Amino acid sequence: MQADSRMQQTGAVRLGVLDQSPIAAGSTGADALRNTIDLAQLAEELGFVRYWLAEHHATPMLAGAAPEILIAAVAAATRTIRVGSGGVMLPHYSPLKVAEVFSILCGLHPGRVDLGLGRAPGTDAETMFALQRDRRQGAPDDFPEQLAELLAYLEDDFPETHPFRRHAALPGGDERPDVWLLGSSPQSAMWAAELGLPYAFADFINPNGAEIAALYRERFIDSEERPGPQQIVAVAAICAETDEEAERLSSSARMAFSLLRQGRLIKIPPVEDAVRFVERRGKGSGRRWVVGSPETVKRGLEEVADAYQSAEVMVLTIVHEHEARKRSYELIADAFGLESVVGAAAAADQP
């Protein structure tokens, strides 16, 4: 695994950002994509160690349908922060195409690219079918085979007689991404452990994953390249100056995801509309939300990290106003005592 100086971060818990590129009511997908670039630059300035872009399709709520394009844009607009996919939904793609794309990203931005891989479609069944190149029948459920082929390209690990062996000479040169397996179930944990891969668990989908993370660590198979398990837990969090204001801001995401579970897809609603919705319908249940003042959120994120025994937490924040989202990350960074490395990197570039 590639060394990364940004991992020398103040405090016991390292922090990253998971960005789903939310689209606020009254704005466009293009606005959301520009906000992603803006937030990534801020995250780097604040001292977050990692910035991952999600993949979702055919929804008015989220603009991130092509994480590989957003990775290129974010990496070009930043200098030091690791940038990656959270994740690429591998069933939609040819393993060779994914290997080539991320090889090129690594060639352009060496030592900074993560390839997070997921099995979920990131959309509904109809859209998944529309994403298929061959629609004569449904796509096979062959994720383990796809993953093995992709790793063979990236690690140049095909047998001598394999017909695809020559394709392991990837266009970006010798640089390779750090490969992570994403998941929210025991099956993904088992695959990551058996293959000796780093594992990122989506607590914001399944808040009961501590035992799954423990299973990953117990079953992890060491290798020379990866001598031990490495994990991230991704958590939904919203921070404001007070607990009350954070709860108010959280109404927008609560309303959007409550309607999503009913099959009603909307943009992220304004706070005023969402507060009325939550007052009538309640906050909903089934997902963990770490919401509150800086002290409350810091305590909540540390509790999650401790439950998962994870040294790194990725924070997913969805609110209606972009400035409120930026402020949430600023407050979290300050609460954890993060330190910017941008100035130090710029100074190191000087003759």
pLDDT tens digits, 267-290: 999 999 999 999 998 777 667 899
Domains and CATH numbers, the chain: 10-349 (3.20.20.30)
pLDDT, tens digit (0-9, with 9 covering 90-100), for 60-83? 999 999 999 999 999 999 999 999
Please, where are the H alpha helices in the chain? 29-46, 67-77, 95-108, 125-131, 143-155, 186-195, 210-219, 243-261, 271-281, 294-308, 322-336, 342-349
- How much is the pLDDT for 343? 56
**Distance between first and last Cα of the chain:** 30
Q: How far is 343 from 299, CA to CA, in rounded Å? A: 29
Please give the DSSP secondary-structure letter assigned to residue 267.
P
Confidence of residue 345 (pLDDT cuts 50, 70, 90): low
Token pair for 55? 């993949």
Token pair for 27? 């704005």
pLDDT, tens digit (0-9, with 9 covering 90-100), for 136-189? 888 888 899 999 999 999 999 888 888 888 888 899 999 999 999 999 999 999
Nearest-CA neighbor of 181 among 168, 169, 194, 171? 194
